Chains A and B, each alone.
Chain A
Amino acid sequence: MSEERRKAIPVSGAIRWSASFVAMVLVAAAFAPWISPYAVGGLQEQRLLEGPSWAHWMGTDGLGRDLFTRVLYGARVSLAVGLGTAAIALLIGATYGLISGFAGGNWDHAMMRIVDIFYGLPDMLIFILLSLLFGRNIGGLLVALGLVTWVRFARIARGQVLQAKELLFVEGAVALGASRSRVLLSHILPNVIGPILVTLTFTIPSAILAESTLSFIGIGINDPYSSWGTSWGTLAQDGYRAMRSYPHVIAFPAAAIFLTILAFNTLGNGLRDLLDPKQR
C-alpha cells in the first residue's frame, strides 16, 4: 500500500501541473486580444530587439514588435492545429476502425490492408505533399495532418472492438437480439473510449510539433496576414537568425513550443496510467 501511494503521488502531481499549463495555453489562445498589452501588428521602430523588461515581458523582435503579444497569438495557431488535427483524425479513424472491427471477416481484412499501407508511408513527407495541395494555411495544414494521422485511431479502435466483441456482456446483448447499431453504440463504444482518449491526447502534441517544425524550416504556414497570429515555429525561425546577439527572440517561442508539447505528453502518459494500470 505504501509503495502504491508513493508512486501515485508524483504521477497525479505531474498531471496536475501539465493540466494547469494546458489550461493556461487554452486561456492565452482564447483571450489573446484581451490579455496582450499591445496591438498584434504594432511596430515600434525605436525599440528593436530589446531584451525583456517591464514594458515588454519577453522583449521585442527585429521589427520592434512586442514578443509577448506574438507568443500569445501564436498559441492560437498551435492549438487550432493540434485540436483540429485530433478532431479530424478521430472522426475518420475511429469511424473506420469501428466499422472494420465490427464488420469482421473479409471486410475487416481488406480495410486493414489499406491501413497497413498508410502506416508504411513516411508520414511527414506525405503531410508536406498534402499541405501543398490544401494550401499553406491553418485549415489546409490541419486537414493534411488529419489525413496522415487517422490510421492510428483506426488501428486502436479496431483492436478494441475485436476485444470488446469477445466480452461476455456484448455476447449477451447479441444473444438477446440487440440490433447491430445498438451493440456498437451502447456496448462497444464505451469500452473503446479510454485508449482512444489517450491517443487523442498524444495526437495533439505531435500535430503541434509537425506544424511548428514545418513553419521553422519555412515550408509551413505561409499566411502573413492571418488574424490568427504567427506560428511559434515561424517566431522561432525569426529568432534563430538573430540568435548570436539576441537569444531572447528565439528563447521565448522555443519555451512555448517545448512546454506545450511536454505538458500534453505528460497529460497523455498520466491519462494512460490512470485508465490502464496494467501498462505501468
Chain B
Amino acid sequence: MASLLLKRALHGVAVIWVVATLTFALLRLAPGGPFDSERRLPPEVIANLAAKYHLDEAIWRQYLRYLTGIALGDFGPSYKYLDRGVSEIIRETLPTSALLGAMAILFALLVSFPFGLCAAYYRDSAIDRICMLTTTLGISLPSFLLGAFLIWLVALQLGWLQAGRWDTWMSAVLPTVTLGAAPAAYLTALLRSTLIESFGEDFVRTARAKGLKESVVVIKHALSHSLIPVLTVMGPLTAALLTGSFVVEFVFAIPGMGRFFITAVTDRDYPLIMGVTLVYTALLVCTNLIVDLLYTVVDPRIRAH
C-alpha cells in the first residue's frame, strides 16, 4: 500500500512538473507581452524592463530560474502589481478561495446525500421525479447564469441579501449555493443510480433477510457500498470546483485567487498566471492523493493488493 501511495505521489509531482513546463512554454510562445501598451515605450525602457525581469536571458536559464523558484515556493515578481510578489498575492487570496470551495463541497454533500437517498429509496415516486428533473436542470445550468439569477432574485428583487460584498457569513450564502449547485446535482444523480444498484445486490437482500432494521440496511449496507463511486468522482469534482470558483468569484466580486487569475489573463501578467495555475494543479494533485488514500480506507479489497 505504501508503494502504491509513493507511486501516486510521484505521479503527482510529474503532473506538476508537466504543468510548470507547459505553462512556461505556452506563455513564452503566446503573442503579446505585459509591456505592450497603446503608447510605444522607448527601446531603453523596454530593455531595462526586460533586464529587471530577466527576460533578456537565454530561455533555458529563465526556465531553470523559474523551476528553482517553484521548488522554493517563490513564483517571482508580478508584472502588474509592483508592490507584491506572486507568492504574496497567492498567500493573501488562496484562503478566501479555499474557504469558498470547502463550503461549496460541504453544501453539495449535505444536499446530495439526503436527496440521492430519498430518490433511490422511493424510486419512481414523485420525489424521485422531482429530484431527477432538478438534477438534469442543475447539471445543464452554467454557474455564471445561476449566480446572475440568484443575484437578480434574492438581492435585487427580494432584497434579502446584498450582492458584491464579502464580509459576513450572509454574504457567502449566494456564492456557496452557486458554486455548489452543479456538484450537488451531479452527486445526487450519481448516488441515486449507485444506490439503486446496491438495493438490488445480494448482500442487501441478505441483510434484510437477517431481519436487520431498515435504517441499518440502508445506511450501513447499501450506502457504504455506494461511497466508492462517490469517492471516484471527488477528483474531477474538485477540478470543477476550482475552475468554477473563478467564475463565481468574478460574478460576486469576491477577492479570491480566481479573480486575480482573470485579471492576470487580461493583463498578460505571466508570472501570476503561472503561479495560480500551479497552485490550482497542486491542489488538484493533493485531492487525488487524498482520494487514493481514502479508497484504501473505504474499500478493504484495495488494501489487500
A120 / chain B contacts, CB cutoff of 8 Å = 11-12, 15, 281, 284-285, 288
* A243 x B288 contact (CB < 8 A): no
Identify which of A36-44, A103-111, A250-258 touches chain B: A250-258
Residue count of chain A within 8 Å CB distance of chain B: 38
CA distance A126 to B20 in the complex (A): 11
- Judge whether A265 is part of the interface by a CB distance below 8 angstroms: yes
A7 to chain B, nearest CB (A): 9
Residue B64 at the chain A interface, CB threshold 8 Å: no
Known: A117-B18, A122-B242. A216 touches B144 (CB 8 A): yes
Closest to B129 in A: A10
Which one, A135, A213, A219, contacts B142 given CB within 8 A? A213
Residue A236 at the B interface, CB < 8 A? yes
In the bound complex, do residue A205 and residue B18 qualify as a contact, i.e. CB atoms below 8 Å apart? no
> Smallest CB–CB gap between B284 and chain A, Å?
5
Q: Is the CB of B242 within 8 A of A212?
A: no
**B37 touches A (CB below 8 Å):** no
Known: A120-B285, A217-B247, A244-B156. Contact between A126 and B22, CB under 8 A? yes
Which listed residue (A129, A132, A244, A258) contacts B145, Cβ 8 A?
A258
Tell me whether A217 and B23 are in contact (CB under 8 A): no
- Number of A-B residue pairs, CB cutoff 8 Å, is 109
Q: How many chain B residues touch the partner (CB < 8 A)?
A: 46
Q: Are B148 and A129 in contact, CB atoms less than 8 angstroms apart?
A: no
- List the A side residues contacting B284 at CB < 8 Å: 120-122
Verify if A247 is at the interface (C-beta below 8 Å from B): yes
In the complex, the chain B residue whose C-beta lies closest to that of A135 is B31
Q: Is the CB of B31 within 8 A of A262?
A: no
A196 near B: Cβ within 8 Å? no
**Nearest opposing residue in chain A for B14, CB measure:** A117
* Interchain CA distance A265-B135 in the complex, whole Å: 12
Closest to B281 in A: A122
Q: Hey, which chain A residues are within 8 Å of B281, CB to CB?
A: 120-122, 125
Contact with B along A130-162 (1 / 0, CB 8 A): 101101000000000000000000000000000
Cβ of B246 < 8 Å from any Cβ of A? yes
Judge whether A209 is part of the interface by a CB distance below 8 angstroms.
Answer: yes
The answer to whether B243 touches A125, judged by C-beta atoms less than 8 angstroms apart, is yes
Asked if B29 is at the interface (CB within 8 A of a chain A CB), the reply is: yes
Residue numbers in B under 8 Å from A122 (CB-CB): 239, 242-243, 277, 280-281, 284
B282-296 vs A, Cβ < 8 Å mask (1 yes, 0 no)? 001100100000000
Chain A facing B: main interface SS: helix
A236 vs B276: C-alpha distance when bound (angstroms):
27
Neighbouring B residues of A123 by C-beta, 8 Å? 239, 243
Nearest CB on A from B141, distance (A): 6
Q: Is the CB of B280 within 8 A of A125?
A: yes
Chain A residue nearest to B149 (CB atoms) is A254
Per the bound structure, the CA–CA distance linking A169 and B283 in Å amounts to 46
B270 → A minimal CB distance (Å): 9
**The residue from B12, B15, B136, B265 contacting A262, defined by CB atoms under 8 A apart:** B136
How would residues 200 to 238 of chain A score, 1 for a CB under 8 Å from any chain B CB and 0 otherwise? 000001000100110011110000000000000100100
Given contacts A122-B243, A125-B243, contact A236 B30 (CB under 8 A): no
- Knowing A120-B284, A219-B262, A261-B142, the reply to whether A133 touches B29 (Cβ < 8 A) is yes
Q: In the complex, are the beta carbons of B30 and A243 less than 8 A apart?
A: no
Contacts of A124 on B, CB cut-off 8 Å?
A: 239, 242-243
Cα–Cα, bound, A211→B276 (Å): 21
For the complex formed, measure the closest distance between the CB of B119 and the CB atoms of chain A, giving whole angstroms. 14
Specify which chain B residues have a CB less than 8 angstroms from the CB of A209 in the assembled complex: 142
Q: How far is the CA of A219 from the CA of B250 in the complex (A)?
A: 12
Note all chain A residues with C-beta closer than 8 A to B19.
121, 126
Interface flag for B26 (CB, 8 Å): yes
CA–CA, A130 and B26, complex, Å: 7
Q: Is the CB of A243 within 8 A of B152?
A: yes
Q: How far is the CA of A261 from the CA of B141 in the complex (A)?
A: 8
Assess the A261–B140 pair: CB atoms within 8 A: yes
Complex: A265 Cα to B139 Cα, angstroms: 9
Whether A266 sits at the interface, judged by CB under 8 Å, is: yes
Q: B27 touching A132 by the CB < 8 A rule?
A: yes
Contact B277 A125 (CB under 8 A): yes
Which of A133, A258, A262 sits near B26, CB closer than 8 Å? A133
Q: Determine whether A99 belongs to the interface, using a CB cutoff of 8 Å to chain B.
A: no
- Specify which chain A residues have a CB less than 8 angstroms from the CB of B276 in the assembled complex: 125
CB of B144 within 8 A of CB of A236, answer: yes
- B11, B26, B141, B151: which contacts A132 (Cβ < 8 A)? B26
Interface positions of B from 252 to 275, Cβ below 8 Å from A: 261-262, 265-266, 268, 273
Beyond A124-B239, A244-B156, A258-B141, 4 additional pairs, beta carbon < 8 A = A122-B239, A132-B27, A217-B250, A233-B144
22 A-B pairs (CB sep. < 8 Å) = A117-B18, A122-B243, A124-B239, A126-B19, A126-B277, A132-B27, A132-B265, A132-B268, A133-B26, A133-B29, A133-B30, A135-B31, A217-B144, A217-B247, A219-B262, A236-B148, A243-B152, A244-B156, A247-B152, A250-B148, A257-B142, A258-B141
Closest 4 CB pairs of A and B: A124-B243, A262-B140, A120-B15, A132-B30
